[in-house]
Amino acid sequence: MALHCCNKIWVFIIVIFLIIVENVSAATFGCSTGQTDDFRNVALSVHRQYRQLLAQGKAPNKCGQLPEAKNYYEINWDCALETDAKAWSDACNYAYKSGATQALTMGSASSPADAIKKLMIKMANTPITNGADPDTYNNANNDWNRVINYKVLAVGCASKLCSGMYFTVCHYDKPAFSNEKLYEKGTNCVTDSDCTTLLESTCKDGLCIAPPKPDETINTVCSSNPSMNDYARDQLVKWHNYYRALVIKGNEPAAGGRKAPKGKNMYKIKYSCAIETNAQNYANTCPYPTHSLSTARPGWGENMAWISTGTIGESMAKSVQLYYSELLSPGMADLVTNIVTYPADKGAGHYTQVVWGNTYEIGCGGKKCPDGYWHLVCQYNVAGNWNNTAVYQVASTGPGGCATDADCTTQAADTCSTSDGLCNRV
């Protein structure tokens, strides 16, 4: 009897929420909408509580529980999202705001804090009523899809008494798309290295904790380009080196159940403002998907991406992840010699440029174009993707990567970055 089982779970959920809500800490939020920190504490706690239950595979589904989540992040409060939510709730118009990622409810409650609890109980009941699967967006689950979406890192809510009913509005920092997974099924994180969506994440109680929100207004490294910022540059360098250091260890999953081979003499990527200027000039023409002429970037390679959401820094980080994912799909033809041949390896061309062993410098630019997308351009010195050439040198012995300067033999002066096994080009 499905109904009986679901009723019992529903009661269980409410009990859980009440326990947590009574134990909220006295966090201060520093927001200035006129709402209370007590309200914020309750609103954040009910979100965290439900998302934690879900991540652990304990949130109720139509029958049974929703599957456990892998690489699932804790949610934080955001004053700017609260400000948007407050403006919307104050209007007392129970409708969705175009372009915003919202959860809404209108109903009787004893206080704003009580109203937000009711919103989350309504959310928790959605999959019980309709059934849910993290692989498939279900329109019937409406707001719930947005509340639990794995990409969401921040929330801000508001509740307004409108003719005797509380209109409660939450805004989320990332939209959920109907053609994407809501979250990845799998085991909760155990160590920090299980949290791979954002660099420098940590794992706590099975949830991934994001690093502090970056300040994307700082632009000192290549300050003459106002379209980029230091966070975006830092992410580009770190994601490239993260993948380069991983791939040479020989454990990276590749298409066909294979692994990319262990490597050596892999350069550590540095950032170049001169390359950035060139890449930015090209990005400013909104060129996606057409590559620049090779004469416009002599000796440099190029990767391009087209991304609709996020800041420039978030989009740049995402682009490197997308490039690298080609190792798994469609994959490279020969992972024993690691030699690329075209046209067979055309589909992995972004991946092969990201981990091209001799490449040691990048510079990137991006523009939000009239089509609503970021047109992102990264250029690489030296260019990779030479036909009949190894992507990086295969290591036949050892763990992969350098341990001492003597292991870095491309140029006599090269040194070993022992923390990651990559070689510094001096």
Ligand X SMILES: *[C@@H]1O[C@H](CO)[C@@H](O)[C@H](O)[C@H]1NC(C)=O
CB of 384 to ligand X, least distance (A): 14
Chain positions 348 to 377 lying near ligand X, rule: CB under 6 A, are none
Comparing CB distances to ligand X, the nearer of 90 and 334 is 334
Task: Record the tokens describing residue 255, joined without a space.
Answer: 């298409």
Chain positions 254 to 273 lying near ligand X, rule: CB under 6 A, are none
d(CA 405, CA 424): 9
The answer to whether 415 and 407 have CB atoms below 8 angstroms apart is no
The helix (H) or strand (E) run that includes residue 197 is none
Verify binding: residue 342, ligand X, rule CB under 6 A: yes
Comparing CB distances to ligand X, the nearer of 123 and 383 is 383
Output the CA torsion sign for 182, 184, 187, 191.
Answer: negative
The three-point CA angle 183-184-187 to 5° equals: 125
Verify binding: residue 341, ligand X, rule CB under 6 A: yes
Residue 116: strand, helix, or coil = helix
CB of 345 to ligand X, least distance (A): 9
Comparing CB distances to ligand X, the nearer of 196 and 341 is 341
Site string for ligand X, 372-411 (x = CB under 6 A): ---------------xx-----------------------
- Length of the chain equals 426
**Cα–Cα nearest to 112, from 91, 95, 145, 89:** 89
Q: How buried is residue 205: exposed, middle or buried, by Cβ count under 10 Å (0-12/13-18/19+)?
A: exposed
Verify binding: residue 130, ligand X, rule CB under 6 A: no
Chain positions 143 to 162 lying near ligand X, rule: CB under 6 A, are none
CB of 424 to ligand X, least distance (A): 32
Comparing CB distances to ligand X, the nearer of 94 and 386 is 386
Comparing CB distances to ligand X, the nearer of 187 and 387 is 387
Comparing CB distances to ligand X, the nearer of 125 and 341 is 341
- Can you spell out the DSSP letters for 130-186? H--BTTB--GGGTHHHHHH-TT--EEEEEEEEETTEEEEEEEESS---TTS-SSEES
CA distances to 224, 265, 324, 325 from 234, in Å: 17, 23, 17, 20
d(CA 135, CA 172): 20
CB of 46 to ligand X, least distance (A): 57
The answer to whether 177 and 152 have CB atoms below 8 angstroms apart is no
Number of shown-chain residues binding ligand X (CB under 6 A) = 4
Comparing CB distances to ligand X, the nearer of 226 and 343 is 343
Tell me the HSE value of 221 on the side-chain side, using a 13 A CA sphere.
22
CB of 211 to ligand X, least distance (A): 42
Comparing CB distances to ligand X, the nearer of 342 and 403 is 342
The answer to whether 384 and 359 have CB atoms below 8 angstroms apart is yes
Determine how β-strand 154-162 pairs with β-strand 76-77: parallel
Comparing CB distances to ligand X, the nearer of 387 and 418 is 387
User: What residues make contact with ligand X under the rule CB under 6 A?
Assistant: 341-342, 387-388
